[in-house]
Amino acid sequence: MGSTSKGFSFPAYSDPPDIPADIQLLAQNIDTYLTANPGPQGTTGTQGTQGLQGTTGTQGATGTQGTTGTQGTTGAQGATGTQGVTGTQGSLGTQGTTGTQGAAGTGVDILGTYVSLGALQSAHPTGNLGDAYTISGDLYVWTGSAWTNVGPIQGSQGTTGAQGSTGAQGTTGTGTQGATGTQGANGTQGTTGAQGTTGTGAQGATGTQGATGTQGSTGGQGTTGAQGTTGTQGATGTQGATGTQGTTGSTGPEGPATVTQNAKSASYTLISSDNGKFISITTGGVTVPASVFTAGQNVVIYNNSSSSQTITQGSGVTMRFASFLTTGNRTLPRYGLATILCVDTDTFVISGPGLS
């Protein structure tokens, strides 16, 4: 024996068929459910009104602003001192002597090019001092005992020499134009004379600050008005009385000891008088219509054939498969039994062994 989430029992697939007992158990389940779910709760009484707000006291007056004192006079500007004299220009120093000439270096004679040092050594096992050959951009020179790589044939850029000093201007002769004299050597740069002091007059004293006028007194603070009293709290309304418990419906009459059969041999739509009966149908299937049954009424369908038949959910009807969320048409297997219970307006629950 199985049961639904609301406690409605139904026979298991393995239970032997007992239609009267199943219907009686179903009626008892409905009675138990209605007893455990009484009438609605009575309404709550209305809320009492709130008391009035007390008035706020008036704001005290603000005192008058005191007057501002007069501004003191500014002192006179001091006189500027005289400018100091500029020092004389220092004399030009004499030209330094020129260093001696360095000795001449040994010359290099580039005689040709080879692809490798081995090729050079094969062609010229020895050489003369100053003989040189290039190999892949490097210069190989005979040093007296071997061919030595002295680096790339083109050296890096040398640094720029220092700028020579400019010679003194020669004097201009009078009378006929004489021959141009030789350029005199440049003298060394004389030291710069010391900077003469700048005579700055003393800064005139700043006049004394005028006295600040006395601060006007601040007016007294106006008194704050008294706080208005708070209105009394309105009384709370009385709680509404709880509605009386609805009476439990009387127990329906016990069903008959036997269930009335309604035999059909073609497709059939249920009618109100089928309540409490079982429909024995051989072919065509059964349709559950709308606006025919009320909550608590039920019908049993028996497929009296060796082929499956369809139990159709009529237009406007919701037919739930017991213990599942699905709704819609159901297939009743051969010689299968299905119970259809109306649980609300046009809402039914269907169950039975082998139903799909």
Question: Which pLDDT tens digit goes with each residue over 35-65?
Answer: 888 767 777 777 777 767 767 767 767 767 7
Span 15-22, mean pLDDT? Answer: 80
Residue 121 has pLDDT above 70, yes or no: yes
Cα–Cα distance for residue pair 292/202, rounded to 1 Å:
124
Give the residues across from 138 on adjacent strands. 135, 152
Burial class, 336, CB count within 10 angstroms (exposed 0-12 / middle 13-18 / buried 19+): buried
Provide the pLDDT for residue 155: 54
**According to DSSP H, which parts of 100-234 are helical?**
117-123
What stretches of 148-265 show up as alpha helix (H) in DSSP? none
pLDDT of 72 > 90? The answer is: no
56-65, 191-200, 340-349: least confident range:
191-200
> 273-321: per-residue pLDDT in tens?
999 999 999 999 999 999 999 999 999 999 999 999 999 999 999 999 9
Claim: this prediction has a pTM higher than 0.85: no
Please list the residues that pair with 264 across neighbouring strands: 281
**Burial call 16-29: b when 16+ CB within 10 Å, e when fewer:** eeebeebbeebbeb
pLDDT in tens, 223-239: 666 776 766 776 766 77
The answer to whether 259 and 20 have CB atoms below 8 angstroms apart is yes
pLDDT at res. 18: 79
Mean pLDDT check: name the lowest of 115-119, 150-154, 184-188.
184-188
pLDDT at 122 over 50: yes
- Please state the separation of Cα 52 from the chain's center in Å: 50
Q: Residue 92: which of 225, 191, 165, 233 has the closest Cα?
A: 191
| Ranges 82-96, 131-145, 147-161, 197-211, most confident | 131-145
Work out whether the CA dihedral 152, 154, 160, 166 comes out positive or negative: positive
Is the pLDDT reported for residue 199 higher than 50? no
Q: What is the pLDDT of residue 76?
A: 74
The mean pLDDT value of the chain amounts to: 79
pLDDT of residue 163: 75
pLDDT in tens, 237-285: 677 677 778 788 787 777 556 899 999 999 999 999 999 999 999 999 9
